[in-house]
Amino acid sequence: MRRTEYISMAERLLDHVENKTTESAPDVYQVPVSYYLDEDLWHREMKNIFRRLPLMLAMTCEMRNTGDYKVMEVADFPVLMVRGKDGKVRAFLNACTHRGAFVAKEGKGNCSRFSCPYHAWTFNLEGDLIGVADPKKFGDVDKSTMGLTELPCDERAGLIFVMLDPNLTTDLDDYLGDMLPELESLGFANWEMYAQNELDSANWKLTHDGYVEGYHFQATHPETIFVNTMNNTMIFDAYGPHQRIGFPMHGIEELRDKPQDSWETQEKVSIIRTLFPNTSIAIGPTGGMISQLIPGTTPESSRTIQNHLMAKLPETKEEKAMADAGVETLKVAVRDEDYAMVFDIQKGISTGLNDDFVFGKNELGLHRWHSWVDYYAHDNPVAEAARPNP
Ligand code: FES
Ligand SMILES: [Fe+2]
């Protein structure tokens, strides 16, 4: 990350640690519990957020070479991403234009063309229909009009963004705003994928809530996150709907004893960046975890893909053992600590016996994130809903 940014974050965090404060909202924020259960609202979120905004669906390191592809389902929408001969990544609805079969199975791979498993129609890496089995039976097939349905797709800062509606256009640079140089400064384009885990969770918003506050570190993660990171001390920076949240590590006060120009970038500071609506990026000095929160097929379900990226893959046995331990710790912390909590909360709210939840002044990241969810979930946000202040 940029050094000047790090220094200013470390200074702000030191002030809070020394004064026993945390960055705060002016007031508390209440949300009705139905907000995590309501079927109609959930369908609006899927339609207006997940089918309307750019989603970070893949990382450059997953598909660096011509013919590398990745297939996934997001909120019941089957997506195929592939890098073409021209080096560009394109995204398509993963549905054959003959009779709709998935042209590629969920997962990743490399190929020179896609052959539909149902009747073997073939498509090139640019999505064009190039082969029809026994074409005479179809009369005059105009292949040029029967390519896969292409979706808007762009690659920035080592991340691949897709919109799940072929008719929409969004200026991705504008959407990412000042978060884009932040992401570029991390250098993901040259990083490598080390490991991936998939975890089940409950409602996607309940799941996301745990990513934007550090008020729970001591109680929920006493032997994992809290071992390194201080509790309930946070700084929040808004980038439109995206956020950067800084947390002090234990011993941050030692920085005061050293000249500022000897502080190592990110020393004693832990940072989470969120890309609206569903990506969380936690970066350390040599690697990081990018979490993709994918809603399931009901309001009560979601899954998270934890992607562990490294600037340089481990080479020695010791380096590998250390990397594996880091991957395992984050899997256990999130699955057995955060998400176990989320499943319990979902059970409690499903009884209908709680009315509201309250976000404290210290949970500013939640205030901001939920304001943006409300804004974008609206059927016509630009005209009818108030755009949140950053
Ligand atoms: S559905 Fe793909 S070839 Fe028939
Ligand atoms: Fe947590």
Q: Tell me the per-residue pLDDT of 85-129, one tens digit each, with 9 for 90 and over.
A: 999 999 999 999 999 999 999 999 999 999 999 999 999 999 999
138 lines ligand 1 (CB under 6 A): no
121 lines ligand 1 (CB under 6 A): yes
Which atom of ligand 1 is the closest one to the Cα of 119?
Answer: 3
**348: phi then psi, degrees, rounded to nearest 5:** -60, -45
Q: Which residues contact 131 (CB under 8 A, 6 or more apart)?
A: 113, 115, 120, 121, 122
Please tell me the distance between residue 367's alpha carbon and the centre of ligand 2 in angstroms: 17
Please tell me the distance between residue 101's alpha carbon and the centre of ligand 1 in angstroms: 6
123 lines ligand 1 (CB under 6 A): no
Q: Could you say which ligand is closest to the alpha carbon of residue 221? A: 2
Instruction: Give percent of the chain above pLDDT 90.
Output: 90
- What average pLDDT does range 4-19 have in this prediction? 96
Amino acid in position 5 = E
Ranges of CATH 3.90.380.10 domains, the chain:
3-52+186-384
Q: Could you say which ligand is closest to the alpha carbon of residue 133? A: 1
Confidence class for position 285, pLDDT limits 50, 70, 90: low
Which atom of ligand 1 is the closest one to the Cα of 120?
Answer: 3
Report the C-alpha gap between 153 and 220 in whole angstroms.
Answer: 38
- Flag whether pLDDT at 251 surpasses 60: yes
- What average pLDDT does range 244-248 have in this prediction? 97
- Flag whether pLDDT at 24 surpasses 60: yes
Q: How much helix, strand and coil, in percent to the nearest 5, is found in the chain?
A: 35, 25, 40
Q: Does domain 3-52+186-384 have CATH number 3.40.640.10?
A: no
Mean pLDDT of the chain, nearest integer: 95
- Flag whether pLDDT at 384 surpasses 60: no
Please tell me the distance between residue 96's alpha carbon and the centre of ligand 1 in angstroms: 6
What is the token pair recorded at 61?
A: 């390191």
Please tell me the distance between residue 102's alpha carbon and the centre of ligand 1 in angstroms: 8
99 lines ligand 1 (CB under 6 A): yes
- What average pLDDT does range 16-20 have in this prediction? 97
Please tell me the distance between residue 258's alpha carbon and the centre of ligand 2 in angstroms: 31
Please tell me the distance between residue 200's alpha carbon and the centre of ligand 2 in angstroms: 15
Please tell me the distance between residue 327's alpha carbon and the centre of ligand 2 in angstroms: 15
Atom 3 of ligand 1: nearest residue by CA position: 119
116 lines ligand 1 (CB under 6 A): yes
Q: Could you say which ligand is closest to the alpha carbon of residue 132? A: 1
133 lines ligand 1 (CB under 6 A): no
What is the token pair recorded at 337?
A: 């600590």
Q: Which residues contact 45 (CB under 8 A, 6 or more apart)?
A: 204, 205, 295, 373, 377
Report the C-alpha gap between 164 and 77 in whole angstroms.
Answer: 8
DSSP string, 251-269: TGGGGGGS-GGGPPTTTTE
Please tell me which residue, 350 or 16, carries the higher pLDDT value. 16
First to last CA, the chain: 22
- Flag whether pLDDT at 281 surpasses 90: yes
| DSSP conformation class of 249 | B
118 lines ligand 1 (CB under 6 A): yes
Confidence class for position 390, pLDDT limits 50, 70, 90: low
Report the C-alpha gap between 245 and 293 in whole angstroms.
Answer: 18
**Which of 92, 93, 96, 105 for mutating ligand 1's site (highest number of atoms within 8 Å of CB)?**
96
Residue 207 region, left (φ>0) first, then alpha (ψ -120 to 50), else beta?
A: alpha
- Flag whether pLDDT at 181 surpasses 90: yes
What is the token pair recorded at 271?
A: 């940072």
- What average pLDDT does range 253-272 have in this prediction? 94
Q: Could you say which ligand is closest to the alpha carbon of residue 336? A: 2
Q: Could you say which ligand is closest to the alpha carbon of residue 208? A: 2
Report the C-alpha gap between 249 and 301 in whole angstroms.
Answer: 33
Which CATH homologous superfamily contains domain 56-169? Rieske [2Fe-2S] iron-sulphur domain (2.102.10.10)
Q: Could you say which ligand is closest to the alpha carbon of residue 226? A: 2
Please tell me the distance between residue 86's alpha carbon and the centre of ligand 1 in angstroms: 26
3 state DSSP class of 390: coil
Confidence class for position 1, pLDDT limits 50, 70, 90: confident
Q: What is the pLDDT of residues 199-217, one digit of tens each?
A: 999 999 999 999 999 999 9
Confidence class for position 383, pLDDT limits 50, 70, 90: low
320 lines ligand 1 (CB under 6 A): no
Count CB atoms within 10 A of the CB of residue 105.
9
**Which of 116, 141, 146 for mutating ligand 1's site (highest number of atoms within 8 Å of CB)?**
116
Confidence class for position 266, pLDDT limits 50, 70, 90: confident
117 lines ligand 1 (CB under 6 A): no
Ranges of CATH 2.102.10.10 domains, the chain:
56-169
